[in-house]
Amino acid sequence: MKVGIDLGTTYSAVARYDKNTSKPVIIPNAFGKEITPSVICFLDDGDILVGEDAKDMQSNGTGVNAAAFKRNMGDGSIAVSFNGKDYTSEDLSAMLLKHLIEDAEKATGEKIDEAVITVPAYFNDFQRTATIRAGEACGVKVSKIINEPTAAAISYGYKHAADKTVMVYDLGGGTFDVTIVRITKGNIEVIGTEGNHILGGKDWDAAIVKYVCDQFIDEYDVDPRDDLPTKNELIVAAEGYKKTLSIAESVTIPLNYDGYSAKYTLTRDEFESMTEHLLSATKDVCNSLIDSLQITWTDIDEILLVGGSTRMPSVSRFLRDLTGREVIAHSDTDLAVAKGAAITAELYCSNATGLRAMQVSDVTAHSLGVLSVAQDGRKYVNEIMIKRNSKVPTTTRRQFTIKKGNVTDKIEVYTLQGESRVPLDCNVLAKVVISGFFNRGQGVIIDIEYNYDENGVVNITAFQDGEPLNVEAQPVPDDIRWMGGDPHDKPSDEAILKNIAICVDLSRSMEMGNGDVLPIDAAKQSIRDFVNTLQDKDTYFSLIGFGDKIKVVQELTNDGYAILNSIDELKVKMVGRGTDASPLDMARSIVSSKPGVGIIVVLTDGIWGKKDNAVEQARGCRDDNITIIAVGFGEADTSFLRQIATVDDGALFTTIDRLGETFGTIATAISSGNMGLREGAAPGGRTQVSSRD
């Protein structure tokens, strides 16, 4: 049997094409439900739950939960570690797919051997190939990868034969995607696509959580979110209240925490006004797509709503006001993607009948370029070969010249995906080494061919005088900062992974001050800038708050969004009163939990109790080759800061006004490799060595 699978961020669905009725049908899961939560739960007893069962666990805080892992698809990062085993998003997706497939096989009594899997249109090459691998890891042939909005349009265009231009507005649980397609006589041509992959229904859920917690704090001075199980329960419950508000005018939300009980009423009007900015963020994406295609709203005939979040009545109203176009909502808005995939599965099957006539063409969401040296020879640039929104499949050729006198027998080619001319603003997709050509130093011309196949996956081939050459894919080096520098100083060193723990003093004094800005706000802003400056895939941050107690606000992550969110959460009340503790031991265990150099940045405005303890812990860090940088202002004790800093100039004394500047200095020192980050700073075996030739 062939199926279509919508592998969603928050919910997934499986469909097949029913030849008897000539219609795609959803295959229900073991619970009889049409959609399955994209959640996996690892239980302490070793059991692993997937889907519905896992989502239930999510709210009562048992085991380790993985949700929304699709957001990290293809980036190779560890999404969950459990029982000594690491799982990437690709592994988790494979587990979810396996579950979906098994359920569907049980429901139909047939074996599934082939699947079309959908991905967001903006997914890049890494993310697409990771999705294919995840499918193949569970033993099915992935006959095609198809863009979600395209799938939705297929399920729609298939029903409606009239010629028109349609904007597919897909607001899911964690992502937003907008795509413009042209439908002619049942044929579908995608003409452009754009997305924001950190915007979705979960942001509406979060608004409800914030709404009730803010009131709870006002009344009782405690934040229910400080308790993780309570927080998780609230997030899951908020989704339910949100769905209720799609049909009811108001909901009553009970909240019990820390011995206090409260009840809050939220009306749909209030809910809509506190989430207005989220809809408006989708508007920016739509407008940007319209602009980039050089069309206007009047060129759009209809707007097709896709994704569970478009069930909120505010969405169609908002779109009607924005565009003046007809907005079409289907009752199966969160099933259309799976159904379109099921139709595609059939379309690509050799003995398809009737459906064959329908042609579907898609575009690429990202430009494809090659790393080149700029004309002045002073910097690298991204030379775009295939423009975004080009129809796929597509192929382009580029001539590469080896100058007379150069007798090299290899060429290294880096492929970039992205719109910017600045290489480091793009994704470095692949490194290939081309060899096998004749070069006697007389000057050589080599043709390199780039191809986007119909899955949106990139292929590279090379030729000399029409004869194919060896093209060997090699891992992209972890450290590619040289692409931002002068081509003359391209180094051949390895990437240095950095684990940075930021420890922020959250004692009461951080909320007091006589200037315009509270210390805590100045600190948050400086840390935000600091993170923004240093953030890249090789830099992991953790955030620790300390006062009388210690709280790990964010575990190590290289997800900029997660860390910035956790900075927003920082507040003085979040660490409770209790016995005195120094954050250094905690920070030390966090930064040593991963390979790479460890850096601890401590920000404090006061005098610490049990200084000796802290100095002792600092010594432990020094023994582990961890760099401690101590920033003090206000009442902070300079000589103490010098004692805990582990490098020369590692104690910085500043003022609230200049805190940003100070953090800027630290960021520069860290990124330039000063401040204890010199080679060899990491203890043996802890620096990650990239697999270089």
Residues that bind ligand ADP (CB under 6 A): 8-11, 35, 172-175, 200-202, 239, 242-243, 246, 307-309, 311-312, 334
Stretch of 4-12, 214-222, 310-318, 531-539 lying at the interface with Mg ion (CB under 5 A): 4-12
Provide, rounded to whole angstroms, the least separation between the CB of residue 35 and ligand ADP: 6
State the minimum distance, in angstroms, from the CB of residue 122 to Mg ion: 13
**What is the smallest separation between the CB atom of 203 and ligand ADP, expressed in angstroms?**
9
Q: Residue 591's CB: how many other CB atoms inside 10 A?
A: 24
Residues paired with residue 362 on neighbouring β-strands, in sequence order: 392
The site partner of 312 among ligand ADP, Mg ion, none (C-beta below 5 to 8 Å per kind) is ligand ADP
Tokens representing residue 322 in the block: 């924005």
Q: Among ligand ADP, Mg ion, none, what binds residue 66 when CB lies within 5 to 8 Å by partner kind?
A: none
Min CB(205)–ligand ADP separation in Å:
7
With CB cut-offs between 5 and 8 Å by kind, which of ligand ADP, Mg ion, none does residue 246 bind?
A: ligand ADP
Q: In angstroms, give the least distance from the CB of 681 to Mg ion.
A: 45
- Per DSSP, 139 falls in state T
**172 or 224: CB nearest Mg ion:** 172
Choose between 311 and 524: whose C-beta lies nearer to ligand ADP: 311
CB of 273 to Mg ion, least distance (A): 26
> Which partner from the list Mg ion, ligand ADP, none does 242 bind, CB cut-off 5 to 8 Å by kind?
ligand ADP
Q: How far is the CB of 624 from ligand ADP (least distance, A)?
A: 41
Q: Tell me which of Mg ion, ligand ADP, none is bound by residue 308, counting a contact when its beta carbon lies within the kind-specific cut-off of 5 to 8 angstroms.
A: ligand ADP
Answer with the entry of Mg ion, ligand ADP, none that 5 interacts with (C-beta below 5 to 8 A by kind): none
Work out how close the CB of 209 gets to Mg ion at its nearest, in angstroms, rounded to a whole number: 22
Selection from ligand ADP, Mg ion, none that 175 binds (CB < 5 to 8 A by kind) is ligand ADP
How far apart are the C-alpha atoms of 405 and 426, rounded to whole Å?
A: 33
Give the span between the Cα atoms of 197 and 200, in whole angstroms. Answer: 8
Contact status: 224 vs Mg ion (CB under 5 A): no
DSSP assignment, residue 307? S
Alpha-carbon distance values, 176 to 161, 171, 447, 475 (Å): 27, 5, 39, 31
Q: Residue 11 Cβ, how far from ligand ADP at the closest point, in Å?
A: 4
Looking up tokens 């030729």, which residue turns up? 463
CA atoms within 13 A on the CB side of 391: 7
| Minimum separation from the CB atom of position 8 to Mg ion (A) | 4
Is the Cβ of residue 177 or residue 233 nearer to Mg ion in the bound state?
177
- What does 179 interact with, of ligand ADP, Mg ion, none (CB < 5 to 8 A by kind)? none
Full 3-state SS string of 531-574: HHHHCCCCEEEEEEEECCCEEEEEEEECCHHHHHHHHHHCCHHH
Residues in region 441-460 near Mg ion by CB under 5 A = none
Is residue 632 involved in binding Mg ion (CB under 5 A)?
no
> Nearest to residue 600, comparing CAs of 679, 670, 500?
500
Q: Which is nearer to ligand ADP, 202 or 431 (CB)?
A: 202
Between 130 and 531, CB nearer to ligand ADP: 130
**Residue 251 contacts residue 266 (beta carbons within 8 Å):** yes
Instruction: Using the structure block, give the residue that is written with the tokens 């929304």.
Output: 68
174/583 with CB nearer ligand ADP:
174
Q: How far is the CB of 634 from ligand ADP (least distance, A)?
A: 43
- Give the nearest distance from C-beta 164 to Mg ion in angstroms: 23
CA distance 262 to 641: 44
Sequence-separated contacts (24+) of 653-658 with Cβ below 8 Å: 656/513, 656/515, 656/517, 656/519, 656/522, 657/515, 657/522
Q: How far is the CB of 244 from ligand ADP (least distance, A)?
A: 8
CB nearer to Mg ion: pick between 42 and 176: 176
Q: Where are the alpha helices (DSSP H) in 73-123?
A: 89-108
Residue in 688, 677, 680 with CA at minimum distance from that of residue 595: 688
Our CB check for ligand ADP shows the closer of 87 and 204 to be 204
With CB cut-offs between 5 and 8 Å by kind, which of Mg ion, ligand ADP, none does residue 11 bind? ligand ADP
In the chain, what is the straight-line distance between the N-terminal and C-terminal CA atoms, in Å? 44
Given the complex with ligand ADP, which of 8 and 369 has the nearer CB atom?
A: 8
Eight-state DSSP code of residue 328: E
Pick 5 or 444: Cβ nearer ligand ADP = 5
Q: Report how far residue 600's alpha carbon sits from residue 621's, in angstroms, rounded to the nearest whole number.
A: 9
Q: For residues 119 and 628, which CB has a smaller minimum distance to ligand ADP in the complex?
A: 119
Alpha carbon of 435 to those of 282, 395, 428, 693: distances in Å? 47, 21, 21, 14
- Are the CB atoms for 457 and 415 separated by under 8 Å? no
Check the CA dihedral 459-462-467-469 and report its sign. negative
Cis amide prior to 393 (ω within 30 degrees) = yes
Least distance CB 105 / Mg ion (angstroms): 23
**How many Cα atoms are found within 13 Å in the side-chain-facing hemisphere of 294?**
1
Binding at 551: pick from ligand ADP, Mg ion, none (beta carbon under 5-8 Å per type): none
Q: What is the dihedral of CA 146, 148, 152, 153, to 10 degrees?
A: -60
Nearer to ligand ADP, 248 or 374 (CB): 248
520 binds, among Mg ion, ligand ADP, none (CB under 5 to 8 A by kind): none
Which of Mg ion, ligand ADP, none does residue 275 bind (CB under 5 to 8 Å by kind)? none
x/- string (CB under 5 A) for Mg ion, residues 154-183?
------------------x-----------
How far is it, in rounded angstroms, from Cα 254 to Cα 683?
A: 52
82 Cβ contact partners less than 8 Å away, ≥ 6 residues apart:
42, 64
How many residues in the shown chain lie near Mg ion by CB under 5 A?
Answer: 2
Partner whose binding site includes residue 10, from Mg ion, ligand ADP, none (CB under 5 to 8 Å by kind) = ligand ADP
Among 2, 5, 7, 8, binds Mg ion (CB under 5 A): 8
For ligand ADP, the closer of residues 34 and 538 by Cβ is 34
Q: Which does 49 bind (CB under 5 to 8 A by kind): ligand ADP, Mg ion, none?
A: none
Q: By C-alpha distance, which of 344, 449, 384, 371 is closest to 115?
A: 344
Crossing angle of helices 228-245 and 52-60, rounded to 10°? 120
The one of ligand ADP, Mg ion, none whose footprint includes residue 174, by CB under 5 to 8 A per kind, is ligand ADP
For ligand ADP, the closer of residues 305 and 480 by Cβ is: 305
Length of the chain counted residue by residue:
693
Nearest residue to Mg ion, by Cβ distance, number only: 172
CB of 331 to ligand ADP, least distance (A): 11
Asked if 200 touches Mg ion (CB under 5 A), the answer is: no
Residues 455 and 132 sit within 8 Å (Cβ to Cβ): yes
**Measuring CA to CA, which residue among 143, 178, 205 is closest to residue 290?**
178
Residue placing its CB nearer to ligand ADP in the complex, 156 or 452:
156
Residues that bind Mg ion (CB under 5 A): 8, 172
